[in-house]
Chains A and B, each alone.
Chain A
Amino acid sequence: AQSVAQPEDQVNVAEGNPLTVKCTYSVSGNPYLFWYVQYPNRGLQFLLKYITGDNLVKGSYGFEAEFNKSQTSFHLKKPSALVSDSALYFCAVRDDNAGNMLTFGGGTRLMVKP
């Protein structure tokens, strides 16, 4: 069965500093990996995805994520955090060998302080 883990409930970072939000996954086949962001009282917004190809994926709002097959990770990164990046971030995985469901992690709350 596919699964995804976000080991940190919350990440705190100062504005201007780099940020990393961690995600690890488990699949039996090849993974399709996604990052979404949720602002208060809003739906999830797509940030970026990895399907195949270059391991470094660039997405919206300056975010990027690196697919690491050996470590089964897909950490979200940004070189310089903004206060407006404060939100709830979800990693999701779909196993191409196990049906069509997207499995979401529990979410990580990112707090960027001025």
Chain B
Amino acid sequence: DARVTQTPRHKVTEMGQEVTMRCQPILGHNTVFWYRQTMMQGLELLAYFRNRAPLDDSGMPKDRFSAEMPDATLATLKIQPSEPRDSAVYFCASGLALVDTQYFGPGTRLTVL
């Protein structure tokens, strides 16, 4: 049963610290998306990749967020420095094409104190 995996599932950190979240897309999927979910804003698209190349990261605060795909089996989302307002659940999703169904990972719940 192929699934998107994300690590860590939970992260508590202090303001100013660097946070790295990892995602393993479903094998063979060539599109990867990063979303953030909060009660106030709902689901927000942060960035997405196709064939490891970033296509759109306009949803991310550029000064502190960065997203990369070092290889086809790993996507990372980094926050440096983290702030309390970054507290949210971060989801990764993958798909076969940009128009295809997106399959979501279980999320990383980030708490920045």
Binding site for B on A (CB under 8 A): 32, 34, 36, 42-46, 49, 51, 90, 94, 96, 99-107
Contacts and interface: CB of A to CB of B under 8 A. Distances in A.
A43 B56 contact: no
Nearest to A96: B99
Interface of B: 4, 33, 42-43, 45, 48, 55-56, 91, 93, 98-99, 101-107
9 contacts: A44-B43, A51-B99, A96-B99, A99-B56, A100-B98, A101-B56, A102-B45, A104-B42, A104-B43
Contacts of B106: 42-43
A43 B35 CA distance: 11
Contacts, number: 44
B99 A46 contact: no
B39 to A, nearest CB: 10
Nearest to B105: A43
Nearest to B31: A100
A100 B101 contact: no
